[in-house]
Chain A
Amino acid sequence: GAVVSQHPSRVICKSGTSVKIECRSLDFQATTMFWYRQFPKQSLMLMATSNEGSKATYEQGVEKDKFLINHASLTLSTLTVTSAHPEDSSFYICSVPGEGLETQYFGPGTRLLVL
């Protein structure tokens, strides 16, 4: 299966700053990647679908201007949390769909803490 990495693994930032999280598909070209957010003791909630060469598709209730997604290449998608606030503190996970719609391959996640 695909190997997916995320960088950084954890980040602490001050309120009001912007944070960029990278998701890389190391051995698989991905025209689509997914971004999830997971609050403590809760499930993964899909935030957006990142599309290479076009705009991301955001789920209802997710602010496009706050969570900027750029699918720069077939192996890289970035999520930028702009003007981060403490309520944005969460675990952010990306995933890459496998071939044949049979699975998704998940990155290890990025822990964001906004002070």
Chain B
Amino acid sequence: AQSVTQLGSHVSVSEGALVLLRCNYSSSVPPYLFWYVQYPNQGLQLLLKYTSAATLVKGINGFEAEFKKSETSFHLTKPSAHMSDAAEYFCAVSDQNPNTGNQFYFGTGTSLTVIP
């Protein structure tokens, strides 16, 4: 079975500081992992994805994530936070099952606040 755990439902950083959002996964198959961002009253926007290629994945808006199999982690980072980064961030893992159409399992989300 697939699941993800996001440690820290709320994270606050100062503008210009490092952003680190944590995600740990559990998967019975080699995982496909995703980070999505959600702004208020909007849908989800894909930040980046890991699909068994390079372990360090670069995404949009300066975000990146590193897949660490030994730690079952896929933490999201950004070197310097911007005010526009304030949003809800979700980590997800897929079951890669064509029979189910590739179901996603989401973490509980981390709300990022950027302090000016």
Is A69 part of the binding interface, using a Cβ–Cβ cutoff of 8 Å?
no
Please give the number of chain B residues whose Cβ is less than 8 angstroms from any Cβ of chain A in the complex.
Answer: 27
Most buried by B among A46, A102, A107: A102
Q: How many A-B residue pairs have CB under 8 A?
A: 62
Q: Is the CB of A97 within 8 A of B49?
A: no
Give per-residue flags for B53-71: 1 if the beta carbon is below 8 A from chain A beta carbons, else 0: 0000000000000000000
Within the assembled complex, what's the spacing in Å between the Cα atoms of A1 and B105? Answer: 20
Q: Which of B46, B49, B103 contacts A46 (CB 8 A)?
A: B103
19 contacts across the A-B interface (CB closer than 8 A)? A6-B43, A43-B90, A43-B106, A44-B106, A46-B105, A49-B101, A93-B44, A95-B104, A101-B94, A101-B102, A102-B49, A102-B51, A103-B34, A103-B46, A106-B36, A108-B43, A109-B41, A109-B42, A111-B41
Binding site for B on A (CB under 8 A): 1, 4, 6, 31-32, 34, 41-46, 49, 51, 57, 91, 93, 95, 97, 101-104, 106-109, 111
